[in-house]
Amino acid sequence: MLRGALAALFFVFAAPAWAQPATLYPLPPQPAGVPWPAADWESAPLPDDVDRPTLDLAVTEAFAGEHPLMGETRAVVIVQGGRIVFERYAPGYARETRLISWSMAKSVTHALVGAAVLQGRIAIDTPMGSPHWRASDRRSSITWRQWLQMVDGQDYLEIGAPSVLENDVTHMLYGRGRGDTARFAAGLPLIHDPGAHWNYNSAGTVLIADALTRAIVPDPRDARDRRQRMRAWMQASLFGPIGMDPVVEFDPSGLYYGSALVWATARDFARFGYLYLRDGVWNGRRVLPEGWVDFARTRGPDRASDIYGAHWWLTPASGPGAPQRSLITDPRMADAFSAQGHEGQIIVVAPSKDLVMVRLGLFHGEAESWDALGDWSTRLIGAFGDRPAR
């Protein structure tokens, strides 16, 4: 009990240091008179200030068939002002269809860690640790914050891997690490000083999932018990309060993957984005700690990187982004931040437009496909008028 109280006390004093809110666009409040999403979600016609030709062209481009770069768009949901103002599905898909998150699950893991912080179970500026490391191992000193910002320093290659067989995520999820993903992830050595260098690291997210699970279920009887108790906690702490009904996959050791493999409907993913648009509050209940969303959308400490916060992708105020191009390319929407997943899964949160956009689909390209999806997303979201913070 004392340990939990101390963690909660740490959270109270540490919260102001999580981000620099003065540099961030304010998150808009729930509009007066608009009900929060319940079992259903209130819809509304497209606002009068929408650029209809631009919107219609983007929608036609997405749903006209297989796009040469963006591939197949299966679902698009747009929420503005608290209501669904656009929703469309490709043939064979519907409102009830659960689709795969791929790495959008990393942003879900950010939320789950936040829920644990709110409950006083975790303090993010303390070492996260792993039972696979000795106390003297330098990896044992890496903090939760550094893992969430992906400045852990591990030797990991995924983005830019020259082939599937040279991609570490392949070996972790489908190769030698598939039976115990946390053991595989813990075996990766350090090649940079922790806190100094940003590198996209799905293995780091698996280690976060493992550490979080140990904080929630410290004494599992077996893999099945571990899985069931963690599912129950996720439902009570995050999914239930916001009305999500996802399927979360677990590895054979009973560990939820954390970095991928959450299945949910487009509306469910929109609910998740909406939680972040509303500063972690849902219908008067604080689901995430105050300042947790600002932590997600504040760039990390590596000055050579401006496209990543804490398990969410960012839009730089100027330039294309570093070390890779950002999804949204219009500097007028520099407040936008996003969850992104393999093959073109995205949740974009745009506070200045009071908007959330979800696109789910499938493409087989890499950088050129992401660039095309980013250009399309920029045009689609740009068709909607601004909603200045009140």
In a domain, residue 340? The reply is: yes
How crowded is residue 105: how many other Cβ atoms within 10 Å of its Cβ?
A: 30
- Whether 22 is covered by a domain: the verdict is no
DSSP string, 226-242: HHHHHHHHHIIIIIHHH
Contacts of 108 (CB under 8 A, 6+ apart): 101, 238, 262, 272, 339
Nearest to 73 by CA among 267, 276, 345, 307: 345
Provide the number of structural domains found in the chain. 1
CA distance 357 to 87: 10
- What pLDDT shows up at residue 389? 76
Q: Is 352 a domain residue?
A: yes
Q: Domain of 173?
A: 2-6+41-382
Q: Where are the beta strands (DSSP E) in the chain?
A: 72-80, 83-89, 99-100, 247-248, 262-264, 281-282, 285-286, 313-314, 337-341, 345-350, 355-362
In a domain, 162, yes or no: yes
Give tens-digit pLDDT for 44-55: 999 999 999 999
Which residue is it, tokens 């768009």? 73
CATH number at 345 reads 3.40.710.10
In a domain, 120, yes or no: yes
Predicted local distance difference test score (pLDDT) of residue 262: 98
| Model pLDDT for residues 176-234, shown as the tens digit of each residue | 999 999 999 999 999 999 999 999 999 999 999 999 999 999 999 999 999 999 999 99
Question: Cβ atoms within 10 A of the Cβ of 124, count?
Answer: 24
Cα 269 off chain centre by = 10
pLDDT at res. 15: 44
SS3 call for 49: coil
In a domain, 34, yes or no: no
CA angle in degrees (0–180, nearest 5) for 247-250-251: 155
3-state SS class at 114 = helix
Examine residue 186 and state whether it is found in any structural domain, yes or no.
yes
Q: Which helix (H) or strand (E) holds 260?
A: none
Q: Is residue 205 part of a domain?
A: yes
| Tokens encoding 113 | 């860690």
In the three-class reduction of DSSP (H, G, I as helix; E, B as strand; rest coil), residue 296 is classed as helix
User: Which residues of 61-127 form beta strands (DSSP E)?
Assistant: 72-80, 83-89, 99-100
Q: Which DSSP symbol is given to 133?
A: S
| pLDDT tens for each residue of the chain, 390 residues long | 333 433 433 333 344 455 555 589 999 999 999 999 999 999 999 999 999 999 999 999 999 999 999 999 999 999 999 999 999 999 999 999 999 999 999 999 999 999 999 999 999 999 999 999 999 999 999 999 999 999 999 999 999 999 999 999 999 999 999 999 999 999 999 999 999 999 999 999 999 999 999 999 999 999 999 999 999 999 999 999 999 999 999 999 999 999 999 999 999 999 999 999 999 999 999 999 999 999 999 999 999 999 999 999 999 999 999 999 999 999 999 999 999 999 999 999 999 999 999 999 999 999 999 999 999 999 999 999 999 876
Buried-state track 297-314, b at ≥16 Cβ within 10 A, e below 16: bbbbebeebbbbbbbbbb
Q: Which helix (H) or strand (E) holds 223?
A: helix 223-234
Tokens of 281: 């509050």
What's the DSSP call for residue 290?
T
* Distance of alpha carbon 180 from alpha carbon 252, whole angstroms: 7
